[in-house]
Amino acid sequence: MPSIAPAAISHYENFPVASWLCPPRLRAPIAAIYHFARTADDLADEGNACADERLAQLAAFRRDLHAVAGASAPSTRWPRVFAPLAAQMRVFALPVQPLDDLLSAFVQDVIKTRDGAGYVDLSELLDYCRRSANPIGRLLLCLYGVQDEQALRQSDAICTALQCINFWQDLSVDIPRGRYYLPLAECAAHGVAISRPARDFAALRASAQTASLIAALVSHVRHTMLQGAPLALRLPGRAGWELRAVVQGGLRTLDKIAALGAGVLQRRPVLGKADAPRVLWRMLWM
């Protein structure tokens, strides 16, 4: 989940919080968006609830979202989420559709995990990214008052790339949890045989075929990120520098995934202090 503001809270790396680089006037709405997304993700993923219970909770959460969007009172179940969110939706005219799209992605996560299902092809996975990642970028652009079509397309490219980077970075974590993000058609195209339901992802090991698959996915994501990167040069001040950091941090993570190759199935690559000078240098020379 991608963001213009790097997360200061590491509990959920895909959504933004009000970091020290964020303009003070935007900290409240960014925090409200973060807590909405964080709570919904917890409903979908944390604890011991069964899939049907998770789906029921997400449906109730969605009803509360549409209640506040329609200036009605939500339920009393999540007051720390919907009271701040309702206030910020009014002040900044935040659209409800991106928030609703996020919920649809969380619902899809529950269903895919319950059924042990993978994504049929890259197009289906990118549609998931359109709802799970792109809404965050669009909401942040709304806060910054940037709404032209080129900026929205570039934001979508960055957010989709960051979501996919997270997928390829976390293969060794997600697959044992029943989260299967390697697209089945792309697996087949590289000679990696996966049947449906996709639970035999757990048997994947490093091979020439899996290395070729990872290399192709990394190349696709790098191209997507570079399509969106010019947005960082358009945003003024701290927002632009934050986005430069996000873009270059994502590209550096891709470097590490590419270096591991098929080894990413067993080990999660991470950025460390040693990567900071390279990321900073790339930020300065964008």
Q: Six-digit token pair at 239?
A: 């927002």
- pLDDT computed for residue 2 by the predictor: 38
| Spatial CA neighbour of 130 closest among 165, 150, 166, 104 | 104
Measure Cα distances from 278 to 4, 71, 222 in Å.
Answer: 20, 48, 17
- pLDDT computed for residue 200 by the predictor: 82
**What average pLDDT does this structure show over 139-167?**
94
Q: Higher pLDDT residue, 24 or 172?
A: 172
Neighbours of 71 (CB within 10 A): 9
Percent of the chain with pLDDT over 90: 77
| 13-50 pLDDT per residue, tens | 444 434 545 678 888 999 999 999 999 999 998 889 99
Q: How far apart are CA 104 and CA 59, in angstroms?
A: 10
Question: Phi and psi dihedrals of 13, rounded to 5?
Answer: -75, -10
**What average pLDDT does this structure show over 115-138?**
94
Q: Are 190 and 182 in contact (CB under 8 A)?
A: no
Domains of the chain with CATH codes: 24-284 (1.10.600.10)
| 227-245 pLDDT per residue, tens | 999 999 988 888 888 899 9
pLDDT band at 202 (very low <50, low <70, confident <90, very high): confident
In degrees, rounded to 5, the angle at the alpha carbon of residue 193 between the alpha carbons of residues 189 and 198 is 115
The number of angstroms, rounded, from the C-alpha of 154 to the middle of its chain's C-alpha atoms is: 15
- pLDDT computed for residue 13 by the predictor: 46
Q: Six-digit token pair at 33?
A: 């968006």
Across the chain, mean pLDDT equals 90
Q: How far apart are CA 78 and CA 84, in angstroms?
A: 11
- pLDDT computed for residue 10 by the predictor: 33
